[in-house]
A and B are shown apart, each in its own frame.
Chain A
C-alpha cells in the first residue's frame, strides 16, 4: 500500500478560484458514498443468535471511507471541487455527515427510511445511485464518485462497482492514488496488483473505490466543528427518490441475497495421527470423509 502520494504537480486552482470544466463552466463535483460500521476492535458475536451484537458496540466511520473522503477534500483543495457526502442508513449516521462537513464537505445527504432496512448490495447500489442522480439534479452533475474499498462489517466491495453499473460510469477499484488532469479532464488512477501497479486513465464520470490507508485523513478544525454542528443536513426518504418507483425494489424485499447462516470461527485442538505409509494415510482420510473421489 503506497503511502499518501503528495500531488506531483502544483495546481493553479483552489476552492476560491476553482477549476471549471470547459464545456459546462462549472467546478468538478465529487460525491463520496460513506457509511458507519461497528468498531471492529470492539465487536462481539451473540453466541446464541449468531448475529453481530451491535447493541454494545461503538460505531465509527468505515475506515477506508475516511480515505475516500480525504481524497475528495484533496480534490477540493487543489481544484475547488464541490464535495457532497451521501450515506444510506439509520438517522444516527447524521453524526458522520456533521463530521464530514466539519472537515470540509459542502453538504451531507442522509438517505434514511425503514423501507431501506435489510438491503443487500443490489438495492444499496440502486438507492445510492438514485441519490446521486438527485444530487446531480439539485447541485450539478457528479463527476467523480468515491467509495471505500469495502466495509468492515460486510466486506463485499460490491457497492462501488454496483453504483458504477447503475449509473453507467467508468470505474476503477482498489486504487491507491488518483490524479485529476485538468487539461484533458480525465483521471489517472493507480491500483496495486500482484507484482506491480496498474495505471488507468479514465474519462469522467468515474466511480472509484479507495484502498485503506491510501492517505492520512485530516482532522476537523475548531471552526469546522462549529460549522458541522450548525449545518443543515439534507435528509431524503424513499418518497424523495422518485426514480425508485416501487418500495419492493429496495430493502430486504429488493435483496436477492439471503444470508443462510453466520458462524463464529473458533479454533479447535488438532491431534496428530501417525501412519506407517501413504496408502494408509489415504485410507484414513477416505474413512473420515475428507477425500473427494478423484475424477481422472
Chain B
C-alpha cells in the first residue's frame, strides 16, 4: 500500500552579497510544551540497491517495543525511487506503515496529515551512500 508523496523542496534563502548574514536571526530551541497530541514512532529507512541496510532493522528493533509501550504505530519512512522491494521487506520487519516519499520534509508533512504528528523519529547516524549525517540534525531544526 505504499503511497507516493511529491512536493517541491522548500528553498532556503541564499546568503549572497555584502552583509550576507545581516538578516540572520536566532531563536531558542523550544521543545513542545505538551506531547498530548503527538503520535507514532518513525524510522527513516536506509536502503541500497533495493536492500534494507542493517541499521534500519536495528532501529525497527528499537522502535517496536517503544511503540508497543506507547500503544502507537511504527512508521517506516522510505525515501527514494523504485523502492517497492524495500517496502516489501519492511512489512516483515516490524513496521506498521511504510509510506514512501521523494523528499523528506514533504514526506513528514504528508504523513503527519495522514497519521497525526510524530513523537519520536529514529535516524541512523548517517547513510552509507551519502554519509552526510546532516539529515537528522536538519529535520530536528
> What secondary structure prevails in chain A residues at the interface with B?
mixed
Tell whether, in the assembled complex, residue A161 and residue B138 are in contact, meaning their CB atoms are under 8 Å apart: yes
- B124-141 residues with Cβ-Cβ distance < 8 A to A are 126, 128-134, 136-138, 141
Tell whether, in the assembled complex, residue B134 and residue A167 are in contact, meaning their CB atoms are under 8 Å apart: no
Tell whether, in the assembled complex, residue B134 and residue A161 are in contact, meaning their CB atoms are under 8 Å apart: yes
CB distance from B24 to the nearest CB of A (A): 6
Q: By the criterion of a CB under 8 Å from any partner CB, how many residues of chain A are at the interface?
A: 46
Tell whether, in the assembled complex, residue A162 and residue B137 are in contact, meaning their CB atoms are under 8 Å apart: yes
Tell whether, in the assembled complex, residue A173 and residue B128 are in contact, meaning their CB atoms are under 8 Å apart: no
> What secondary structure prevails in chain B residues at the interface with A?
loop
Q: C-beta contact mask, A123-143 vs B, less than 8 Å → 1, else 0?
A: 100100110110011000110
Contacts of B138 in A (CB 8 A): 161, 165
Q: Is residue B20 contacting chain A, with contact meaning CB distance below 8 A?
A: yes
Tell whether, in the assembled complex, residue B64 and residue A123 are in contact, meaning their CB atoms are under 8 Å apart: no
For A171, give its contact among B25, B48, B94, B134 (CB under 8 Å): B134
Tell whether, in the assembled complex, residue B24 and residue A133 are in contact, meaning their CB atoms are under 8 Å apart: yes
* A132 CA to B64 CA, complexed, in Å: 42
* A205 CA to B61 CA, complexed, in Å: 40
Tell whether, in the assembled complex, residue A161 and residue B26 are in contact, meaning their CB atoms are under 8 Å apart: no
Tell whether, in the assembled complex, residue A168 and residue B134 are in contact, meaning their CB atoms are under 8 Å apart: no
The answer to whether residues A248 and B26 also contact, given A136-B20, A173-B134, A193-B128 and a CB cut-off of 8 A, is no
Q: Is residue B27 contacting chain A, with contact meaning CB distance below 8 A?
A: yes
Tally the A-B contacts, defined by beta carbons under 8 Å: 95
The answer to whether residues A165 and B131 also contact, given A130-B26, A133-B21, A243-B24 and a CB cut-off of 8 A, is no
For A295, give its contact among B24, B48, B64, B131 (CB under 8 Å): B64
Contacts of A24 in B (CB 8 A): 17-18
CB distance from A198 to the nearest CB of B (A): 7
The answer to whether residues A129 and B24 also contact, given A168-B13, A192-B131 and a CB cut-off of 8 A, is yes
Sampled A-B contacts (15; CB under 8 Å) = A126-B29, A132-B21, A141-B19, A157-B126, A158-B136, A161-B133, A161-B138, A174-B132, A193-B129, A194-B48, A205-B15, A243-B24, A246-B28, A249-B27, A256-B31
Which A positions have Cβ atoms within 8 angstroms of B? Answer: 23-24, 121-123, 126, 129-130, 132-133, 136-137, 141-142, 157-158, 161-162, 164-169, 171, 173-174, 191-194, 198, 203, 205, 243-246, 248-249, 254-256, 292, 295-296
